[in-house]
A and B are shown apart, each in its own frame.
Chain A
Amino acid sequence: MANRFQTTIRESTDLIETGLQLIDGLFRQVRSAWRPEPDNDVAVDASGPRNVDGAVSELSNRITRLSTMTALEDVPSMWREVLEDSRSCFSEVEGPRGLGFGAEVALSSGMLATQQVLRGLSSHYTSPDGAFGTFVINVLEVFDDAHVYATLQYRELLERYRQRLERNPGDGAARMELARTLIKCGLYHEAIRELEMARGDARIRAQALHELSVASFRAGRFTDAGTYAREAMELNGSHVRTRLLLWLAAQKGNGYAPDVPAGMRMQLRSGQQPTLLRLEDMASRIGLDKTSGGRGTAVFDYDGDGYLDVLVAAAHGGCTLYKNNGDGTFSDASISSGMDTCLTAFITAIGDYDNDGNPDIFVTRNGFFSGGCSLYRNNGDGTFTDVTEGSGLDGWGPAFTASWVDYDGDGRLDLYVAFNLGSLFERKTKNRLFHNNGDGTFTDVTDAAGLVTSWPTIGSCWGDYDNDGRPDLFVSNSLGRSQLFHNNGDGTFTEVGREAGIDMYGLGSICYFIDYDNDGWLDIVQNVWSDSEDVIHTMQNGDGPPDGQPIRVWRNNRDGTFSQRSRELGITGCWGSMSGNAGDLNNDGYQEIILGNGSPRMERVEPLTILESDGRKFHDVTFTAGLPITGKSHGVNLADLHGDGRMSLLVASGGAYPGDLLTVGAFCPKERVGHYLNIRLVGTRSNRSAIGARVKIEAGGRDQHRLVSGGSQFGCLPFEQHFGLGPVTQSIDAIEIWWPSGLRQRIAGPIAANNTIRITEGDDRFEDVYKPRGVRVGGGRQLELA
């Protein structure tokens, strides 16, 4: 139940936000009176803070980290470290250290505080009643840990806890944190040893037993995990996270032990709706079974042999490039291609930026921590070359999603990169739009384009929502309001989120444009994140709690506005949906929505969710379709990997911590249900990848619409568009393509189903991809120029 204070805050959100933004603007104006804003807003780069803003942020982060790892009695000695950190953080900042400098530090601190309060306001607004405190603690841990693990400081952290324990062996809190850190590092057996000692302390016994269950589960000791969870529940029967651990351990073994009381058990009710879909994990049989740190995937034909290959980024290593052998299996081509040297990539975006017919790769790095993006040019001989240097794309920061788009219709792919927060107290690194100059270089045109974003961003996607022929931009912010930018057609954009009714607060993650109702108007799916309790509630009940946050499906009202339709569409579950994609898995003509779920915490294990569409509603068929509890599911991708009309569901599982390791999953339908047609496009006047093209097919008395997306999110979909036709329809009446160049092309049928065809812009013929029979012409054609 919300208290009066919470209610007041929520009801006054708009007012408070306006006030805070005014304060922020005032601070900026005062400061700019004697020092203009830096040209580049990257305040902290690889070499450390470069200006006052960066130094203030870095110092705040360091103090936070110190506070979380220091015992209360050690606080006096902590101040020495704070002073040392202060000197270190400001050592590279230029300028005299006079009164003006002090004032600038004060103003910078004020601006940072204002931004933090704004983010807090957004989080508070979207957190379930009473869960805000837990949310803040989780955020603190995630951002602290991102720094600690990315820079390998966990060894120092372990040492600190050990030193605390040497001084005071009875410090249960230190032992607990030591054990939790060991679990995150994958040192489960050492963690178990520490926790066995910690459980002797009655004050922390329940928590120690819970962590013992986590460590044992992670170590593959499922029987022990169940025993510990049960003991923990005997002390704290309301701990739903422990209840889930007990259930998970039982699932891995032979079910609950007979003497587990009914009050400790849970029943899985999510994912049980009926479906004809039957999936099986083929990863280890077809050679796609490496571990992954749960990052991005991409499906594309890198070597031009027609078969779809797979790229998987990795949290703790280089990318893996799997070459499709054309016989149902894959070979690891990471080393021969050079992509093994693309280390710690986060998200991969595929696009042929130089229009040479060979798709290239852009990667971001480590979206919860700063890193450098990279551009890899496809050499056309099975290898890639890092061409980042000199390309203008070598920006530093917490880049998250990236997407290729030809926003100005010049036939060349431009690039949009969205930036999250790289640390708890970081200032927003602006999202960037890079214009492709056509000579292998790019120019940052963000400011000129008017793409102002002030919230931390995770998701970003492009689609022409108003059908004016120009791609527009939707931005899904992680702590703040969503934004919609209308493309004005002159290189500039206008933010219309509020007018479109889409600027809701939220813990937004990835997003994508999709015409889920096949009405010819692009809708938007926006994933949002939920905490453990809501996820477990969903698993137990099939629905999330009433105040929970299911993903948002924004229906296009065809008048420039959107309506949120999730609950009307039957989407009521609340998951930690960071990744996701859509595609027609069951070939019925309606696209399924796939949710890749998870969160960094080591205790968090949840399913990948399949929401199957019947054209009216979505149904959670995860487990009836045959999926296991996949754990943390990032890099969700959908592709007809075998070219036989069966869409496979790829997932790069795993989490951010070094110890959170899972293998890639490749879930393929056991048999094809329904007929299909795959369409690949080759742009000539448009960009070669045909990113931004809209494809409509007319078949079986209905239309289906697809968008060739250049958005990667965590799973960069293949450019190939897959259309399911159902069990009856075996031919297509017509195909219509609306190319990014403006050309509208219609190929009249009948066109036989159950095939993969390639269509070149402006050419009314098409050719088979897998069974070459020469180019063919449809039953008629209409070409018209826009």
Chain B
Amino acid sequence: MAAEERAEQRIGTVLPDVTLATVTPPHDSWRLHEAAGKSRGALLVIWSSVCSHCARYDEYMNAFASNHPEITMVAVASRQGETEDEVRKAMEARRLSFPVLYDTGSAVARQLFTQQTPRVFLVDADSRLVYRGAIDNFKYAEDTEYEAYLEPAIKSLLAGEPVARPDTPSFGCAIASVYYTIPRPLKKA
């Protein structure tokens, strides 16, 4: 595949208008452009209920709405083979209070050139991409080496300033894996 065919959206460009439904009743439809336009911006977190990288941000994401009422945040469950029922069970077991959208067939993840969870996309009110990547440097707040990536980006967005580091490496659990295709359990007699 040629390099130009695999080009990610550039920082500053308008993201496609993601339209998905929530996994919990009443399964409202959610549109990125509409949500971003109603507030100061929106945050998409490409996410999975079985991703251990995502799990460490449960508290952060639960508190996001109250910490950042100006930004609409949604998680997008994109992992291959993950059912809506599994997502709902995990939300209940882990007491997750943020909205989760179901990304059938990982279409949105593909559209955003994302292969792993979690990966965040912060857009402004015009749905222009202002930050993409990891939430932090994968340390904990109690760790002296901790460095937040997303929070300074949000601060810059709200202050109307350019984001100093708009694109960071992000990494996590695979959205599609060769191992998910292994028949399991093995074919019964």
Give residues in A with beta carbon < 8 Å to B. Answer: 46-49, 58, 84, 87-92, 150-153, 155, 185-190, 219-223, 252-253, 284, 287-292, 314, 316-318, 320, 332, 335-338, 340-341, 343-344, 365-366, 371-372, 381-383, 385, 657-659, 661-663
Other-chain residue from A49, A188, A221, A318 in contact with B142 (beta carbon distance below 8 A): A221
Q: Is the CB of B176 within 8 A of A219?
A: no
Other-chain residue from B3, B115, B116 in contact with A382 (beta carbon distance below 8 A): B3
B56 sits at the interface (CB 8 A): yes
Return chain A residues, CB-CB under 8 Å to B56. Answer: 186, 188, 219
Give residues 147-177 of B contacting A (CB, 8 Å): 147, 169-174, 176-177
Q: Is the CB of B53 within 8 A of A291?
A: yes
Other-chain residue from B50, B177, B185 in contact with A88 (beta carbon distance below 8 A): B185
Closest Cβ–Cβ distance, residue B125 to chain A (whole Å) = 27
The residue in chain A whose Cβ has the minimal distance to the Cβ of B173 is A316
Q: Is the CB of A150 within 8 A of B50?
A: no
Contacts A317-B173, A365-B178 hold; do A91 and B188 have CB atoms under 8 A apart? yes
Return chain B residues, CB-CB under 8 Å to A314. Answer: 171, 174
Docked Cα-Cα span, A371 to B176, in Å, equals 15
Closest Cβ–Cβ distance, residue B2 to chain A (whole Å) = 7
**A-B interface, 6 closest residue pairs, ranked by CB to CB distance from nearest:** A220-B140, A186-B52, A91-B189, A87-B189, A290-B171, A658-B52
Q: Is the CB of B50 within 8 A of A344?
A: no
Interface residues on B, range: 35 or more
Docked Cα-Cα span, A786 to B182, in Å, equals 51
Return chain A residues, CB-CB under 8 Å to B177. Answer: 316, 343-344
Return chain B residues, CB-CB under 8 Å to A382. Answer: 3
Docked Cα-Cα span, A220 to B59, in Å, equals 13
Other-chain residue from B3, B179, B183 in contact with A344 (beta carbon distance below 8 A): B179
Return chain B residues, CB-CB under 8 Å to A291. Answer: 53, 138, 171-172
Other-chain residue from B6, B143, B169 in contact with A290 (beta carbon distance below 8 A): B169
Return chain B residues, CB-CB under 8 Å to A658. Answer: 51-52, 173
Q: Is the CB of A88 within 8 A of B3?
A: no
Cross-chain pairs A/B with CB under 8 angstroms, 17 sampled = A150-B179, A185-B52, A190-B94, A220-B139, A222-B142, A284-B147, A289-B169, A316-B53, A318-B115, A318-B174, A338-B6, A344-B174, A383-B2, A658-B52, A661-B52, A661-B53, A661-B138
Other-chain residue from B2, B50, B176 in contact with A155 (beta carbon distance below 8 A): B50
Return chain B residues, CB-CB under 8 Å to A316. Answer: 52-53, 116, 172-174, 177
Closest Cβ–Cβ distance, residue A151 to chain B (whole Å) = 5
B85 sits at the interface (CB 8 A): no
Could you tell me the dominant secondary structure of chain B's interface residues?
A: loop
Q: Is the CB of B184 within 8 A of A153?
A: yes
Given A185-B55, A317-B172, A343-B177, output 9 extra A-B contacts at Cβ < 8 Å: A91-B186, A155-B86, A187-B52, A289-B137, A290-B169, A317-B116, A317-B174, A320-B169, A340-B115
Contacts A219-B140, A318-B115, A659-B52 hold; do A152 and B186 have CB atoms under 8 A apart? no
Return chain A residues, CB-CB under 8 Å to B174. Answer: 314, 316-318, 343-344
Contacts A91-B188, A338-B6, A365-B178 hold; do A223 and B142 have CB atoms under 8 A apart? yes
Docked Cα-Cα span, A337 to B176, in Å, equals 18
Return chain A residues, CB-CB under 8 Å to B189. Answer: 87-88, 90-91
Q: Is the CB of A317 within 8 A of B115?
A: yes
Q: Is the CB of B188 within 8 A of A336?
A: no
Docked Cα-Cα span, A597 to B155, in Å, equals 40
Docked Cα-Cα span, A320 to B170, in Å, equals 10
The residue in chain B whose Cβ has the minimal distance to the Cβ of A187 is B55
Docked Cα-Cα span, A155 to B139, in Å, equals 26
The residue in chain B whose Cβ has the minimal distance to the Cβ of A45 is B182
Q: Is the CB of A88 within 8 A of B188?
A: yes
Return chain A residues, CB-CB under 8 Å to B7. Answer: 336
**Interface bits B119-140 vs A (CB < 8 Å: 1, else 0):** 0000000000000001001111
Return chain B residues, CB-CB under 8 Å to A150. Answer: 179
Give residues in B with beta carbon < 8 Å to A. Answer: 1-3, 6-8, 50-53, 55-56, 58-59, 86, 93-94, 113, 115-116, 134, 137-143, 147, 169-174, 176-189
Closest Cβ–Cβ distance, residue B177 to chain A (whole Å) = 5
Q: Is the CB of A371 within 8 A of B179?
A: yes
Contacts A190-B93, A220-B139, A284-B137 hold; do A381 and B3 have CB atoms under 8 A apart? yes
Return chain A residues, CB-CB under 8 Å to B142. Answer: 220-223, 252-253
Closest Cβ–Cβ distance, residue A626 to chain B (whole Å) = 14
Closest Cβ–Cβ distance, residue B143 to chain A (whole Å) = 6
Return chain A residues, CB-CB under 8 Å to B53. Answer: 186, 291, 316, 661
Docked Cα-Cα span, A155 to B180, in Å, equals 13
Docked Cα-Cα span, A316 to B55, in Å, equals 14
Docked Cα-Cα span, A371 to B174, in Å, equals 16
Docked Cα-Cα span, A658 to B48, in Å, equals 13
Q: Is the CB of B8 within 8 A of A290?
A: no
Residue among B115, B141, B147, B179 with max Cβ neighbours from chain A (10 Å): B179
Contacts A320-B171, A341-B115 hold; do A252 and B188 have CB atoms under 8 A apart? no
Closest Cβ–Cβ distance, residue A290 to chain B (whole Å) = 4
Docked Cα-Cα span, A726 to B138, in Å, equals 38
Return chain A residues, CB-CB under 8 Å to B93. Answer: 190
Other-chain residue from A87, A219, A223, A290 in contact with B170 (beta carbon distance below 8 A): A290
Return chain B residues, CB-CB under 8 Å to A48. Answer: 183, 186-187
Closest Cβ–Cβ distance, residue A86 to chain B (whole Å) = 9
Docked Cα-Cα span, A336 to B10, in Å, equals 13
Return chain A residues, CB-CB under 8 Å to B147. Answer: 284
Docked Cα-Cα span, A316 to B180, in Å, equals 11
Other-chain residue from A189, A221, A318 in contact with B116 (beta carbon distance below 8 A): A318
Other-chain residue from A92, A340, A663 in contact with B187 (beta carbon distance below 8 A): A92
Return chain A residues, CB-CB under 8 Å to B185. Answer: 88
The residue in chain A whose Cβ has the minimal distance to the Cβ of B181 is A46
Residue among B53, B137, B170, B186 with max Cβ neighbours from chain A (10 Å): B186
Closest Cβ–Cβ distance, residue A314 to chain B (whole Å) = 7
The residue in chain B whose Cβ has the minimal distance to the Cβ of A225 is B142
Q: Is the CB of A343 within 8 A of B178?
A: yes
Closest Cβ–Cβ distance, residue A375 to chain B (whole Å) = 15
Closest Cβ–Cβ distance, residue B88 to chain A (whole Å) = 14
Docked Cα-Cα span, A318 to B147, in Å, equals 24
Docked Cα-Cα span, A220 to B55, in Å, equals 13
Docked Cα-Cα span, A221 to B142, in Å, equals 7
